[in-house]
Amino acid sequence: MSFVQEWAGSIREMPAIYHYAFVFIISMIPIIEQRGSIPLGIALFGMNPFMAFLVSFLGSLIPCPIILLCFNAVYNWMRKYNLFKGFCDFLDRKVRKNSPKIEKYKEIGLITFVGIPLPTTGVWTGSLIAAVLGLRFGKSVFCVTLGALISAIVITVLVATAGWLL
C-alpha cells in the first residue's frame, strides 16, 4: 500500500469533525480552493454533498476580506525589496492578464471570473484583482461571494453527478 493510500485511510478513520476542518482549511488555499476541497470532501471523506458544499463555500470566503483590506499595503511594501521581485512580477502579469475582462464588465465580470471553476480563477485571484483595481470593498465582497457560490454549486453538482454516473 502506498503512502497516499495509507494516509487517506487514516484520515477516513478520524472523527467527522476533522473531515469538516480539513475541507474548510483546504478551501482557503490558493489555486486549490473549492475545486479541490469539494471533491475531497465528497470522494475521500464520504461527506454529504451539501455539507461539503457548505463547508467549502464558507471556508473559501475567509481570504476575501483579508485580501481586499491588506493586499495593496503588503504589495507596496514587498515592491521595495528585490527579494520579492519575482513574486511581484508574477502577480503583475496575472492581474494584467485578467483585469481587462473585469474592468470592462465590472461586477458581472468579477462574479463570472470567480464563478468559473477553472485553475487560477476563484476567490483569491478575484479578490486580488478587485483590490488592485480599487473596486469598493462591499461591492467586491458581494461579487466574490456570489461568484464563489456559483462555483461551489457547479463543482458540487459535477462531483455528485460524476459519483452517481460511476
Taking only the tens place, the pLDDT of each residue in 61-119 is 999 999 999 988 998 899 899 998 888 888 778 777 767 767 777 888 899 999 999 88
pLDDT number for residue 165: 56
Instruction: Give the contacts of 29 (CB within 8 A, at least 6 positions apart).
Output: 36
pTM for the complete prediction? 0.83
Taking only the tens place, the pLDDT of each residue in 20-73 is 999 999 999 998 999 999 999 998 888 999 999 999 999 999 999 999 999 889
What's the Cα-to-Cα distance from 80 to each of 74, 83, 90, rounded to whole Å? 10, 9, 15
Residue 166 in this model has a pLDDT that exceeds 50 = no
Residue 10 banded pLDDT, cuts 50, 70, 90: confident
Taking only the tens place, the pLDDT of each residue in 106-162 is 888 899 999 999 888 899 989 988 888 888 999 999 999 999 999 999 999 999 988
Instruction: Give the cell for residue 86.
Output: 519575482
Going 39 to 45 to 49 to 50, the CA torsion angle's sign is negative
